[in-house]
Amino acid sequence: MQQLVGRLTALDPEASATLKVVAYFDTLVGHEVGIETLLRGASVLSGCPVGFDPGKSAGLRVSPAGHRLPAGAPGDWPSAPAGPGALVWLERSGVPHANDAMVLERLALAVAISRSRARPGSGLHRAIERVLDADAPAEDRATAAAQLGLDPRRPVRAVARRAGQPAGDHPSSIVSTPFGLARAEIVPRGADLRGADLRGADPGRSGHPAANGSGGGPGAARAGIGPAVEPGHLPRSWSAALVALRLTDD
């Protein structure tokens, strides 16, 4: 029964395998695993060593068997930015596999999320996650709303975008949802969502080192916009925003 997982590399690159890569990383991100676990995932999915360079501290390399390898440098390997100053890479020798780009992209995204969660002092990610979480106690959501600077009586909307889209002008973060990863943004009721915010989703404007190379092109600016609610009811707005985002999908 061995090697079932590693065989993903041999699967059809276009259809099912892509979804499997996405689902694999979504599951890991949903469980809030650490960076080494993410690297092991990318390594087993691609069948080659994978590396991580956090920029300032020591890096990490792992083998497809899940073992740590001596630290190394990205060199000329295919790489992707994984949050501020950080890089992940994939050490493919010979002909690239059809899924390499997808694995690298999802790894970069997952690592960026993991790091933003772990970053001390930031707290933005956790606050957004908490304020949208219908299962969180009301007091916890109120605390998170306060951390985000939201007035308990001033209505706001939750806006859902695809995970690969860059941040706009309002507090936002990538969160795990029942439908996979998505970017959640909290905007005031009066915000002009057809103007500034959609420009914010335009990759041409920001030059943001988004890990998702497919951020551009038609449909890049698609967003699901939830109803304006008091911050205490953001989970309802978020749930509607997610449904709306899914309706925009092909």
Closer CB to other proteins, 17 or 128, in the complex:
17
CB of 62 closer than 8 Å to CB of 89: no
**Distance (Å, whole) CA 229 – CA 133:** 15
CB of 177 to other proteins, least distance (A): 16
CB of 65 to other proteins, least distance (A): 6
Taking Cα atoms as reference points, which of 75, 80, 70, 72 lies closest to residue 100?
80
CB of 206 to other proteins, least distance (A): 31
Closer CB to other proteins, 44 or 150, in the complex:
44
Closer CB to other proteins, 85 or 179, in the complex:
179
DSSP three-state, residue 134: coil
Taking Cα atoms as reference points, which of 60, 65, 94, 64 lies closest to residue 77?
94
Closer CB to other proteins, 46 or 237, in the complex:
46
CB of 40 to other proteins, least distance (A): 5
Residues in the chain: 250
Q: Which stretches of the chain bind other proteins, using CB under 8 A?
A: 1-5, 7-8, 16, 20, 23-25, 27-28, 31-33, 37, 40-41, 43-44, 64-67
Q: For the sheet with 223-225, list strands across it.
A: 172-177, 180-188, 156-162, 223-225
